[in-house]
Structure 1
Amino acid sequence: MSDLDRETLRLDFLKAAGLSDALRAPLPGDASTRRYERLTTPAGSTLMLMDQAPSAESQPCDPSWSPEQRHAKGWNAVARLSAGRIEAFAAVATHLRRVGLSAPEIVAIDAPLGLAVIEDFGDDLFAHAILAGQDERPLYRAAIEALARLHGDPVPDVLSGPAGDWPLLAYDETALQGGADLFVEWMPRLVPSLNLGAKAVADWQAAWAPIVRTGAEGASVIAHRDYHAENLIWLADRDGPARVGMIDFQDAVRAHPSWDLHSLLQDARRDVPPEVEAMALDHYFALRPKVDRAAFMAQYAALAALNQARILGIFARLIARDGKPRYREFMPRMWAHLESNLKAPGMEAVADWFARHVPAEARK
């Protein structure tokens, strides 16, 4: 579909939603195929137009597909699962609001077209607020309270929203290993000196196998999947965990409860001081006293390392394939997190693989 045809669909959708007179201001893009516009009505109120054309992505994962079928269908079926669909966003948003958290209200939606008008939470992203001088500790405490609320709620197999039901799939062994494998697929394309043949890849998968298995077996909560300071908005006029406005959760899955914690506290885009990470983890365990902290933290380090390998692979792909060199600036931070987690007990096999195959000069 041409840009002109897509614009015609947007205009027709906004007219049907009673918003044809709204002023439209595009927001900067990110690493996804999604785009947003801020809508300002004649009365001065604002909303967001969310545009995720279904044709821009491959199919989402069908719950009935085998691992072999998923690999044949492509990346979304292997690891991203929801393929960023609008109806997934609407269903997750409905669930988050049901448990007392802040997700944008869906004002209008056309799922087949991939268009929605949603509540505008404003621009007070955690990352921006902290840069402007706001104390980060209350923000991170509130973000932990939101996760504790989410993790204490029963996890349904199917979420319901204004665009219909959506299956909440598990971040299972296929998805976890598929994510990790982005590293061995894309890092050699960014760093040609890395020579990762079939034996190295087989050893990679064997080293991660017990961690992947533990992560899949522990998939017991809804995970946002991209829970960090640039996807959380401070809503100062709300109370408790609802002060944390959540966006970009369309890829939510059932996952290990450490997933969103290490995404937040070992952020790819900003340095979280060690004392803030420690404070946040203490707060989480205080709110969830039945959790075995020692066992949880072993899994936290292992799954954080897997996620960091995954993100390094994504960044390598964005740079090498998509021509987005700005993601290189985030890589040293991810390498630092990964190397720290590789020192944790139980990470010896993965650490040995890196020692054999990725020299220090390639870790930057």
Structure 2
Amino acid sequence: MTERFERMCDWLATCEPLKNQTYSQPVAASSDASFRRYFRCEVASHTQTGQRHSYIIMDAPPSHEDCKPFIRVSEQLHAMGLNVPQVLAQDLTLGFLLLSDLGNTTYLSVLNEQTVDGYYSDAFDALITLQQKGKAYQATLPLYHETLLTNEMSLFSDWLCQSHLELSLGKLETQAWQSVQTHLIKSAQQQPQNFVHRDYHSRNLMVTSEQANTGRNPGILDFQDAVWGGVTYDVVSLIRDCYIKWPEEQVKEWQRAYFLKACEGHLFLKNEWEGFVKAMDFMGVQRHLKAAGIFARLYHRDGKDGYLKDIPTTLSYIVEQASAYSELKDLAKLVENRVLPAMDNLKP
């Protein structure tokens, strides 16, 4: 056991929910693209059924992670009636949180042609609730401002193109790239602004159960980076997911299904459909530029190679959506003519 793991175990023994209870030694539950790690411990139930229940421990080293946004957003989402982990104990100095457990069944693990419509309908409903009630928390959220949007897109040029593929952009390509960024930022800022989860996709949405006492689907994770930004960001994260891809005809149907629910929730007017589609497409391109760059950075900076396999899917979205708009065609050409061939050359 590492020193930090031992410290975590010592801290658990002081947590009120676990006092006077017999519980298992924590085991790894998951990790993510940050420095956070998650562990699960089980507690023997005192009910006649003999069922066990469990807790999640978040290990967030203070030198790398700040737990306060997670705690704040968890409280906000819970107040909206959404199904999120609740913080049961905390030590911000050590960087440990004890959380309620939403289980280990992600949307990604169960999605198929037969199940996806039902799960996505639930996810749309939860997202509409977030966007309707999230307006009350605008003052508490960081702005998704121009600098942040630019820095995220720069991950694509810096980490994927330069570090991973060793591609340098020529003068005209650089000018075109800057123009693309300007158009994407303008679209992100001109569309309606709202509470943005910022990672609303199949790996962060959970299938929960009554036995786990976690409420209705979906369980929602990884919300600590929430911002106030473009309203289309979360829906495009879901239906053009970096980790699972569906036929574009199906994506268009979900796009319309979400939009109609959003109109019923007074987030849009029905005559705003065309503007919504363009805003969502542009927002998706911005997000996928960021994601492709992050996946490369995780490999080169953090030694995590598990996300490299998701880069081609992410790039395919960029080509498909950018090709449809004159403002973004130079980006589509760059990815199609230089980035994707360079990716192919890396294959063994």
Q: Matched residues in 2 for 1:219 and 1:199: separation?
A: 33
Look up the match of 1:250.
224
In the alignment, residue 130 of structure 1 is paired with which amino acid? L
Sort the Cα spacing of 1:200 and 1:107 in 2 relative to 1 into closer, same or farther, 3 A.
same
Paired residue total:
324
Sort the Cα spacing of 1:102 and 1:356 in 2 relative to 1 into closer, same or farther, 3 A.
closer
Look up the match of 2:64.
56
Look up the match of 2:23.
22
Q: Matched residues in 2 for 1:341 and 1:225: separation?
A: 20
Among candidates 115, 125, 135, match of residue 145 of structure 1: 125
Q: Secondary structure at the match of 1:179?
A: helix
Among candidates 140, 149, 155, match of residue 176 of structure 1: 149
Look up the match of 1:72.
none
Q: Secondary structure at the match of 1:38?
A: strand
Deviations 1:204-225 (A, max 9, x none): 2232113212313436211111
Q: Matched residues in 2 for 1:172 and 1:100: separation?
A: 28
Look up the match of 2:80.
99
Q: Structure 1 stretch 214-223 or stretch 28-37: which is displaced more?
A: 214-223
Contact 1:150 1:221 in 2 (8 A): no
Can you give the 5+ residue segments of structure 2 that lack an aligned partner in the other structure?
46-51
In the alignment, residue 64 of structure 2 is paired with which amino acid? A
Q: Matched residues in 2 for 1:276 and 1:349: separation?
A: 24
1:3 CA drift (Å): 4.3
Sort the Cα spacing of 1:355 and 1:288 in 2 relative to 1 into closer, same or farther, 3 A.
closer
1:237 CA drift (Å): 3.9
Report whether the alignment pairs 1:110 with 2:91.
yes
Deviations 1:231-275 (A, max 9, x none): 10123549xx94210011111111111111111111111123334
1:197 CA drift (Å): 5.8
Contact 2:176 2:331 in 1 (8 A): no
Look up the match of 1:279.
253
Q: Secondary structure at the match of 2:137?
A: coil
Identity %: 26
Q: Structure 1 stretch 313-322 or stretch 224-233: which is displaced more?
A: 313-322
1:295 CA drift (Å): 0.5
Q: Secondary structure at the match of 1:156?
A: helix
1:37 CA drift (Å): 0.6
Sort the Cα spacing of 1:278 and 1:236 in 2 relative to 1 into closer, same or farther, 3 A.
farther
Among candidates 183, 200, 203, match of residue 230 of structure 1: 203
Sort the Cα spacing of 1:86 and 1:198 in 2 relative to 1 into closer, same or farther, 3 A.
farther
Q: Matched residues in 2 for 1:349 and 1:308: separation?
A: 15
Contact 1:146 1:242 in 2 (8 A): no
Q: How high is the TM-score relative to the length of structure 2?
A: 0.84
